[in-house]
Amino acid sequence: MGGGLTGLWIAWKLTSGPGPVRRVTLLEASSRFSGRIKTKYDSSGEPLYEEGAWRLPTNHERMLQLCKDLGLPLMEVRSEGRQSMQAWAGADGPWVTAQTPQVPMLCSSRTLSTWDRLASERGVEFADDSAARTGYAGIDIMAAGSDAYGVEAMATQQPREEAEVNRSYVVPKRGLSAICEELVTRLKARPDRVRLLLNARVQDVRLQEPGARTQVEATLRADHNAFRTQTFDGDAVVLAAPPECVASFPSSFQLLRPILESLEGVPLFKAYAPVGREFAALTCLGPAFHLKSDTLLQQIISGTYADANMVQLAYCAGRRAEALERLRLCRNAEHTICEEILRLLSPRCDKGAVRQLLASTGMDFFFWKNAVHIWRPTFELDVSKKSREACVLPCGPAYPHVFLCGEAYSTVQGWGEGALQTAEWVLSALQAMGSDVGARTPVPSMISLRGLQLQLVNTVPPGMLAAGSRIIDASRWKKVHPGGERAITNHEGEDIELLFAAMQHPAYAYGFLFALQIGWLTPGVRPK
Ligand SMILES: Cc1cc2nc3c(=O)[nH]c(=O)nc-3n(C[C@H](O)[C@H](O)[C@H](O)COP(=O)(O)OP(=O)(O)OC[C@H]3O[C@@H](n4cnc5c(N)ncnc54)[C@H](O)[C@@H]3O)c2cc1C
């Protein structure tokens, strides 16, 4: 399920060698592949700008290797790097130039987000300011352990320059969509092994015990406004889509819920205008710049593709992104962006000329409600361990043929690199299932094969709880549970799944179940 980067990559890898997988069916809900990677091209096929993902850090080895394997030449993203980031260094105004003082890490708990930590140690104002200076205010609610867009590093480390300004980025000359296009071309060349279906939205995944084939129910768009339902069955099902897309499955939601509720989508908003060269000249910014400020716009960035003459007038996250989207809905975004730019730039440019320039053209807006994801700062979540668990054994050993993958579940959230990280885990787990993809492999050996350090037990050990078949180590939880220690000790050794649901615990509390999970009950065993 899912024809974004992750799904396409897995389908390609599974079918490119002699491996155990005979045939892959890829179901993509929309009318195009590529998901959150979406290059906009001009009428002659040249890239104009990126609606979604827009650059690859040069230390993202998986992405760079993929571009190499697909024969895609890369070019440097001009707006990044020391020179352009410091274009306005020393200028008055809100641009990011100063280094953030080093913040002592008094508390290393994985339960705190970047913002939590800064606010508690340096005050709310400092935390807000620090967040704004990263250019991604709103992502800093993340827990330490996963650091989307280096916000944690930027907000807390010294010197900031090293974390941010020295980083360099590349992009395929043909645009990021070329990666997915190349994958699709290669998959289409193997019609005997790969079936690609667009307009095929998975509605449910019915979990079956090992040996039985998993059923995937999908709605296929047959015509303009005509749909039909089809059930597919397979030996393994890979859910290569973000959590919010999986959360609606009636049959599997309950089992996946502790993982899905551990994750949160973060919105991003972009505004582009086709006035790159004039804008750079009128504002004296030069051809390549990337400015950050504590405003609604957050970031102003020169276009990636030099010939396209675009400028990104806003690129922001979190509630700023939500605000600009709502302004767009009431047809006020262009005016607001223009006024905000004038306020920022007026000491250094001709206000009237810039206003006239921006009024002379339209802007293109892109709002991604769940653009990237973060692990919620859930109680004691150890992302470095839990990411792999979420991907290779999301529903436990009773359902070893279900997998989750994508940027959201990774330790490199917010990036294509994270998508490929999880895809690699899932690929090797699928390959480890060997020719016996239908999972008739004995369960304990399957667990060790997947490289997880999870216990498989026949009874709930003392001091622990079960939530369905998840074994929860509640020893730390009971010390902080709002219902007091007895709320937990009263139920030690029991299955609390029904009780938990009956108490109508909030969504985030389900994340505790995943964070504190240390094992699984052996399939077939029921706790009291
Ligand atoms: C604005 C923005 C900026 C970004 N910037 C960068 C960047 O600069 N560099 C970088 O590396 N990454 C960046 N990213 C992240 C990058 O885009 C993602 O990590 C990557 O594209 C994720 O790929 P994916 O296949 O895991 O998920 P997706 O691309 O989301 O693909 C999931 C696919 O599943 C499909 N689907 C969903 N539900 C169903 C269903 N029920 N049935 C069938 N199909 C379904 C969707 O239609 C979609 O095609 C950015 C993302 C955004 C939005």
Mean pLDDT lowest among 97-111, 209-223, 308-322, 465-479: 97-111
Does residue 316 have a pLDDT over 90? Answer: yes
Mutation test of ligand 1: which of 146, 316, 322, 407 has the most ligand atoms closer than 8 Å to its C-beta? 407
Give me ligand 1 centre to Cα 5, in Å: 7
Q: Average of pLDDT values for 449-461?
A: 85
- Which of the residue ranges 16-30, 34-48, 157-171, 221-235 would you say has the lowest mean pLDDT? 157-171
**Cα 213 versus chain centre, distance:** 29
260 within ligand 1 shell (Cβ under 6 A) = no
Q: Give yes or no for residue 393 having a pLDDT over 80.
A: yes
Mutate to test the pocket of ligand 1, among 9, 12, 36 (most ligand atoms within 8 A of CB): 36
CB 1 within 8 A of CB 202: yes
Q: Which CATH class is domain 5-35+194-262+376-432?
A: alpha beta
Q: What does the alpha-carbon distance between residue 295 and residue 317 come to, in Å, rounded to a whole number?
A: 11
CA-to-CA distance for 303 and 305, rounded, in angstroms?
6
Give the separation between CA 21 and CA 76, rounded to whole angstroms.
38
407 pocket-lining for ligand 1 (C-beta < 6 Å): yes
Q: Name which residue sits closest to atom 20 of ligand 1, judged by CA.
A: 416
Read off the pLDDT of each residue in 430-441 and give the average, rounded to a whole number: 63
What average pLDDT does the segment 142-156 reach?
73
Question: Is ligand 1 within 6 A of the CB of residue 267?
Answer: no
DSSP 309: -
CA-CA-CA-CA torsion for 455, 460, 464, 470, nearest 10 degrees?
Answer: 60
* C-alpha of residue 466 to centroid of ligand 1, in Å: 34
Q: Whose CA is nearest to atom 36 of ligand 1?
A: 2
- Percentage of the chain beyond pLDDT 70 is 89
| Ligand 1 touching residue 318 (CB < 6 A) | no
Cβ atoms 354, 300 nearer than 8 A: no
Q: How far is the CA of 435 from the centre of ligand 1 (A)?
A: 30
State the average pLDDT over residues 66-81: 92
Distances (CA, A) of 157 to 97, 104, 106, 114, 225: 14, 9, 14, 11, 53
Is 28's C-beta closer than 6 angstroms to any atom of ligand 1? yes
Q: Which pLDDT does position 100 carry in this prediction?
A: 40
Predicted pLDDT at 449: 67
What is the separation of C-alpha 428 from the centre of its chain, rounded to a whole number of angstroms? Answer: 21
CA of 422 to the centre of ligand 1 (A): 13
Tell me which architecture the domain covering 454-521 has in CATH.
Answer: Roll (3.10)
Question: pLDDT band at residue 363, thresholds of 50, 70 and 90?
Answer: very high
Reported as half-sphere exposure (CB side, CA atoms, 13 A), residue 238 has a value of: 31
The Å distance, Cα 305 to ligand 1 centre, comes to: 22
Q: Which tokens sit at 196? A: 């690609």
Evaluate: CB of 268 within 6 angstroms of ligand 1: yes
Give the model's confidence band at 390: pLDDT under 50 very low, under 70 low, under 90 confident, else very high.
very high
% of the chain at pLDDT higher than 90: 60
Does ligand 1 come within 6 angstroms of the Cβ of 394? no
**235: pLDDT strictly greater than 80:** yes
pTM score: 0.93
Q: Is the CB of 36 under 6 A from ligand 1?
A: yes
Atom of ligand 1 nearest to the CA of 218: 42
Pairwise CA distance, residues 446 & 444, whole Å: 5
The runs of H, that is alpha helices, within 78-233 are 82-85, 114-122, 124-134, 151-156, 160-164, 177-188
- 118 has pLDDT over 90: no
| pLDDT of 135 | 82
Tell whether the model's pLDDT for residue 89 goes beyond 60.
no
Quick one: pLDDT band at residue 90, thresholds 50, 70, 90? very low
Q: Is the pLDDT of residue 163 over 60?
A: no
Q: Which of 40-49, 98-107, 501-510 has the highest mean pLDDT?
A: 40-49
Residue 201 CB less than 6 A away from ligand 1: yes
Report which ligand 1 atom has the smallest distance to the Cα of 36: 29
62 Cβ neighbours under 8 A, 6+ residues apart: 417, 420, 421, 424
pLDDT greater than 50 at residue 94? no
Is 60 exceeded by the pLDDT of residue 62?
Answer: yes
CA 82, CA 161: separation in Å to the nearest integer? 8
Segment 424-433 shows an average pLDDT of 89
Cβ–ligand 1 contact at 246 (below 6 Å):
no
Average pLDDT, the chain: 87
Q: pLDDT tens-digit profile of 176-208?
A: 999 999 999 999 999 999 999 999 999 999 988
| pLDDT score recorded for residue 81 | 65
Closest by CA to 473, choosing from 527, 518, 526, 525, is: 518
Residues 6+ apart with CB under 8 A from 120: 107, 112
9 CA distance to ligand 1 centroid (A)?
13
Domain range annotation of the chain: 5-35+194-262+376-432, 100-158, 454-521
Say if residue 133's pLDDT is above 80.
no
Residues 148 and 139: their CA atoms lie apart, in Å, by 7
* Over residues 160-180, mean pLDDT: 80
At 68, the pLDDT band (50, 70, 90 cuts) reads very high
More confident residue, 229 or 159: 229
Which of 3-12, 52-61, 136-145, 193-202 is predicted least confidently?
136-145
CB 102 within 8 A of CB 109: no
pLDDT of amino acid 156: 67
303 within ligand 1 shell (Cβ under 6 A): no
Cβ of 404 below 6 Å from ligand 1: no
Q: Is the pLDDT of residue 157 over 60?
A: no
